[in-house]
Structure 1
Amino acid sequence: MSASGTTASPFRQPKAVWAVAFACVISFMGIGLVDPILPALAEGLKASPSDVSLLFTSYLVVTAVAMLGVNWVSSRIGSKQTLVVGLALIVVFAAGAGLMNSIAGVIGFRAGWGLGNALFIATSLAAIVASAKGGFTGAIILYEAALGVGIAVGPLLGGFLGSISWRGPFFGVAVLMLIALIATVAFVPRTAKPTEKIPLSAPLSALRHRGLLIMGIVALLYNWGFFTMMGYAPYPMKLSATQLGLVFGAWGVLVAAFAVYFAPRLQRRFGTGRVLLVNLLCLALVMAAIAIGIDTPDVVIVAVIVSGAFIGINNTLTTQAVMMVSPVDRSVASSAYGFLRFIGGGLAPFVAGKLAAATTESMAFALGAAAFVIAVPVLAMGRKYLAAAEQEVQEPEPVPTTVEKVAGALPEGVRPMVVAIGANDHRRWIVDKAAQLARLESIPLEIIHVRETQIVGDQAVARETAESAHALVSEELDRIAKTTDLQARGMVLYSVGDREEVGRVLARHIDRVNARAVAIRRSPGGVATVRGLLDEHGETSYNIVLLDPGLADIPLV
């Protein structure tokens, strides 16, 4: 492999990207920001834990309902405008919550905050991808960094500000989001209104698909247990706001690490369905430990921190499973899935609060453990849809062409040269170099493009539509056919997961066609693809050719 050639750092980005990334950090902070102040808030406003739990319920139920309409809104006013409205709502309602003198007032303003959150999370990842310099890979790295920093730092900031006053975290979010709002208005380019308007009924209509509905119910049950813990675990710990911030900070580090780094590796080794089944059972055991050890703060503290690993895995793989089984547009699938999971998260603290008030705190956590256990047979019902989806992901989509001499099928027993192309300025150079190699070996050329749906935490983003992916390959096929006598065909593959999953999807296709070699552009995405190829087949039966537009020679791996 050649060592020459340089790649742009994913952190050298336009101001627009940093504006949205900063807002993402603050948004992710909100996951654990409130937990350290729950006991102080209950004491300061003379409210019961059951009353305080409604902070989660109002926020998440409104977020859930709003998820049904975010695509309707964004497809009419554009992504930047949707982002700005969401940020503005968060600023207003976070500040309003901090000004309240009653628990009812805080609960009401948290509901408005939930509306802003729904608009923001529906567009933030897509906005970073659209604005990032250097392509899809750099954008995803930035979003992963925002996820890690936000989840880990949120509880620490909440604990620090909460040690001053329970109002501190609310005002802190308002100020930070105001900075993000000003930066977004100033630096993010105005986006055109989408040409296709999404109906308001689209997310609910998508739930008619049985596979998507089953995975959505799994997410509902999982979030029921998750937010039972988030809403009630701070009380039996008997810690100060600062100490609670440290506990949930450690929890957040595990959530981010396992969501971004460990979940994809476990999925590749054991499969999505199997990892999710085991993970749900592990979460049930953690919740059962809290229920049994409710009177021992150290048990609760350790159990909460450990749960971060399983929650990180679950967030990533549940989202991946939803995207795999969904037959509809990715944004519509995300909205339908978001509706169900946030409904579960919103109702859980309310029900748990009533149960704890009527019985004991231990029973609230026992109910959370039961939700995780019930999710296991529900997931088992959907495993056939996951298996079918995984097989479907591996099946190539032939690309039609208007040029007659481009063959749709390759001669029997002939091993082609496969060239993988992306939506970048170098694809013509890459295809031409691969065509030269194919002519030297007197073998056909197969032009492959992989449509990616990237999963980051519990968010998903599709890089392109099926139509644009087919057009990309068709353009190169037609160009090659008009300028050479080389036999060629084109295929579009589809992957769901991280960048290395592209390589594994490509490796499985190469096996099917018994390719002699595969050519890939030397780039961060290309190197990740090579890692995926080698992961799938440690000892490859084909050559991997890394093509670098900055080199005269062709380096072979």
Structure 2
Amino acid sequence: MSAPHAPSASPFRQPKAVWAVAFACVISFMGIGLVDPILPALASSLHASPSQVSLLFSSYLIVTAVAMLIVGWFSSRFGAKRTLVIGLAVIVVFAALAGTSGSIDGIVGFRAGWGLGNALFIATSLAVIVASASGGFGGAIILYETALGLGIAVGPLLGGELGAISWRGPFFGVAVLMAIALVATLAFVPSLPRPARVTSPLAPIRALRHRGLLTMGIMALLYNWGFFTMLGYAPYPMELSAHQLGLVFTGWGLLVAAFSVFFAPRLQARFGTAPVLYANLLGLGIVMAVIAAGVSTPTVVIVAVIVSGAFIGINNTLTTQAVMLVSPVERPVASSAYGFLRFIGGGLAPYVAGKLADATDLRVPFYLGAATFVLAIPVLASGHRLLRQAEQHTGEGESVAPALTRVGPAPAGDAPAVIVAVGAHDRAAEIVDAAARMARDTNSPLEVVHVQQTAVVEEQAVDTETHDEARAAVTAHLDRLAAQGVTATGQILTSVGDHAAAGRVLARHAADVHARAIAVGRSPRGPLTQFADGSLTSALTHAATCTVVLVDPGTVPRPLTSATLAELRGSAS
């Protein structure tokens, strides 16, 4: 049963502030792929060896890694907008300087400064987009994911086109585009409130004392070692022009984006986080071994690199989500600690690979990269129990009770209830009120479940609201209902990452309490996006054993017919 369907709000109807930061995100995500097509041209034009050119990655990533330790403190001290603006300005300056440099050492040094700006930017971009969004955070997350996919896919293509003109082109291109993003950010992004408490600069280091976070961080270090070995050295044996390399890495980027956004959540829901990561790391190890064995055959290297994009997309999404599941610290602190370890792995790999290639041959770095992918499997397995427990705590485990926190008194009696699920958006009150009318018509108690979500995209995670804010939202619903003479109880349901997980948890909870019906708002996202993010509504509809009522806010619900009332009254018997 459902109410009449109203047109869904587009997730792309956002304030100018969101669009300004999203544009900057596209350019930022272009960063690595933009440079890859010009590596051989750099080596040739500046008379540098591949190992010298690889230091462009090392300086950039090592500085990013170290900076990740202090960006949380910096942002909490100076505010998210100021941190974002400073990060963008630093990128503009050092990208332009890299384009004007006449030596490989100069470019390596300027890439280090670029890495500092990148750390400041990536640590705050998702949080600023969510804070600036209108009509709930869902549309903002979709926009961020779109920016990610567009940047990864288009970066190599643009880098190839500009690199075909001159190796300086990609550097100047980034400087110009980031300057536009900087002006837009200054003009459209409002000042955001600073956190009530300044984060300690030592917090990320202290966080690594937690076994789960340290285990996932070391696994990410090993993964990134293999990943950046491939990015830093695969272009050379392909023997292609900058334009052709751009097309190859565009194909790679399309697979990264598609499998990160569309397929990783589905695989996780079907098989669980750890099993998918085990298989994925093994797949990456095999791909790297194929590159090593076929390094003298360009076609083998080209195909293997493109195929690796599927595995990399899955790994990027699920590893960050796993980190957030096992980390008992605040999200920004966990992100900083995790980012430090993963970027350190990525920074050291090209340097070591260069030394190995100079001392032996090009096969050895790729075989070492394959070994680091495989070695990451036992490291992850050492924390399997912690990850499994964390998944079960958030409701992913099939035999464990949902992670629900009661707000206010427990329900009186055991009459079958009508459950209404809402999130932090401006339609929540209308959905709750519609469910209250249904509960009144069926003489049922009402339970309000507020879904508190942590958004996970690529290496970033952000809480869309604090636990206190979620509790306040439930309390506001209960107070409003009490003023209307409706008796209701409240719960908070936490969810990390995949929206479908919350839907499955809610379905199990409804079955446990023998609920009469579940009321939920229609997803404002289209079918393609629901497939990508694992729609709560879709998962709930498929998993629930009781009646699910889809509510369209802003419309006048049709009165429940006698047949529908009879169906609902008998659904719990």
Counterpart of 2:567?
none
Shift of 1:526: 11
TM-score normalized by the length of structure 1:
0.95
Counterpart of 2:151?
150
Candidates 547, 550, 554, aligned match of 1:546: 550
CA contact (8 A) 2:418 2:517 kept: yes
Shift of 1:103: 0.9
Shift of 1:504: 2.4
Alignment of 1:2-401 (within 5 A): 2-394=3-395, 395-401=402-408
Give the stretch that moved more between structures: 162-171 or 304-313.
162-171
Counterpart of 1:515?
515
Alignment of 1:456-535 (within 5 A): 456-484=457-485, 486=487, 488-524=488-524, 531-532=535-536, 534-535=538-539
Shift of 1:525: 6.2
5+ residue gaps, structure 1: 402-406
Find the aligned partners of 1:450 and 1:23 in 2 and give their Cα distance.
30
Shift of 1:398: 2.9
Counterpart of 2:422?
421
Supply the RMSD in Å over aligned alpha carbons.
Answer: 2.0
Find the aligned partners of 1:346 and 1:539 in 2 and give their Cα distance.
44
Shift of 1:473: 0.9
Report how many aligned residue pairs link the two structures: 550
Shift of 1:409: 4.3
Give the stretch that moved more between structures: 275-284 or 434-443.
434-443
Shift of 1:549: 3.0
Find the aligned partners of 2:509 and 2:375 in 1 and give their Cα distance.
37
Q: 1:517 to 1:162 in 2, by over 3 A?
A: same
Shift of 1:256: 0.4
CA contact (8 A) 1:499 1:525 kept: no
Shift of 1:450: 1.1
Counterpart of 1:404?
none
Find the aligned partners of 2:526 and 2:159 in 1 and give their Cα distance.
40
Shift of 1:537: 6.6
CA contact (8 A) 1:80 1:188 kept: yes
Find the aligned partners of 1:425 and 1:327 in 2 and give their Cα distance.
30
Find the aligned partners of 2:182 and 2:380 in 1 and give their Cα distance.
40
Q: 1:154-205: CA deviations, max 9, x gaps?
A: 0011111111111111111001100110111111112233222111111111
Q: 1:37 to 1:525 in 2, by over 3 A?
A: closer
Q: 1:94 to 1:433 in 2, by over 3 A?
A: same
Q: Which amino acid aligns with 1:261?
A: F
SS in 1 for 2:329: coil
5+ residue gaps, structure 2: 396-401, 565-573
Candidates 407, 410, 413, aligned match of 1:408: 410
Give % identity.
Answer: 65
Q: Which amino acid aligns with 1:541?
A: T
CA contact (8 A) 1:399 1:470 kept: no
Shift of 1:555: 8.6
Give the stretch that moved more between structures: 166-175 or 494-503.
494-503
Shift of 1:539: 6.2
CA contact (8 A) 1:161 1:169 kept: yes
CA contact (8 A) 1:516 1:541 kept: no
Counterpart of 2:568?
none
Find the aligned partners of 1:295 and 1:510 in 2 and give their Cα distance.
59
Shift of 1:214: 0.6
Shift of 1:425: 3.2
Q: 1:518 to 1:537 in 2, by over 3 A?
A: closer
Q: 1:399 to 1:155 in 2, by over 3 A?
A: same
Q: Which amino acid aligns with 1:411?
A: G
Q: Which amino acid aligns with 1:309?
A: A
CA contact (8 A) 1:2 1:555 kept: no
